[in-house]
Amino acid sequence: MPEEALIVVDMQRDFMPGGALPVPDGDRIIPRVNEYIRRFREKGALIVATRDWHPDNHISFRELGGPWPRHCVQNTPGAEFVVELPADAVIISKATEPDKEAYSGFEGTNLAGILKEKGVRRVYICGVATEYCVKATALDAVKHGFEVYLLKDAVKGIKPGDEEMAIREMEEAGVKILPSL
């Protein structure tokens, strides 16, 4: 039973420079994330990857009154992962319904159940965007009773000020911030 899980949040083409909703320098954390995936895998941790997986009529899209450009539409190149995941990684698709937004990997998914069933107590979080899906996932992980660590050298935010604020908010909620591991 793995005590630990690495949760890789939304490392998808549309969130990288050149994508539909780019996180500035989002691609610069790819090597770090790949290294964490390898290292956690080696020590027997569960590898989880969340993905934004929207239908093409999702409410978060500007054309439908939402805040974001069309991004991460199911089964399109923009929704593909840009990191190297092992074949046995658990893939969690979120925000898959047209009328529901979900920033957290726990929202509307069975992620908490899967982690508990596998005996996971500690989760380590990396990915994008720090102030949206990373933060929401980390705060929900705390609420579900996990011990939560943020891998600070393997996250990226959309706006630097907002990213700093989000990290403080996570810390106040009980997330342990690790400069690196």
Cβ pair 69, 48 in contact under 8 A: no
- Contact positions with Zn ion (CB under 5 A) in 98-157: none
Q: Which is nearer to ligand VGL, 88 or 99 (CB)?
A: 99
- Amino acid letter, residue 105: G
Indicate which residue of 27, 52, 72, 133 is catalytic: 133
Residue 118: helix, strand or coil by DSSP? coil
Q: Is residue 52 a contact point for Zn ion (CB under 5 A)?
A: yes
Q: Which of Zn ion, ligand VGL, none interacts with 129 (beta carbon under 5 to 8 A by kind)?
A: ligand VGL
Say how far apart CA 118 and CA 89 lie, in whole Å: 13
Q: Which of ligand VGL, Zn ion, none interacts with 102 (beta carbon under 5 to 8 A by kind)?
A: none
Q: Which is nearer to Zn ion, 72 or 175 (CB)?
A: 72
Say how far apart CA 164 and CA 181 lie, in whole Å: 19
Cβ within 8 Å of residue 145, ≥6 positions away: none
Q: Which is nearer to ligand VGL, 18 or 42 (CB)?
A: 18
Residue 17: CB minimum distance to Zn ion, A: 17
Q: What number of chain residues touch Zn ion (CB under 5 A)?
A: 1
Core vs surface per residue 35-61: b (16+ CB within 10 A) or e: ebbeebbeeebbbbbbbbbbeeebbbb
Q: Which of ligand VGL, Zn ion, none interacts with 10 (beta carbon under 5 to 8 A by kind)?
A: ligand VGL
Q: Which is nearer to ligand VGL, 67 or 179 (CB)?
A: 67
Whether 143 is catalytic is: no
Q: For residue 122, give the H/E element and its range.
A: strand 122-128
Which residue ranges make up the site for ligand VGL (CB under 6 A)?
10, 52, 60, 68, 128-129, 132-133
- Amino acid letter, residue 20: A
- As annotated, the active-site residues are 10, 94, 133
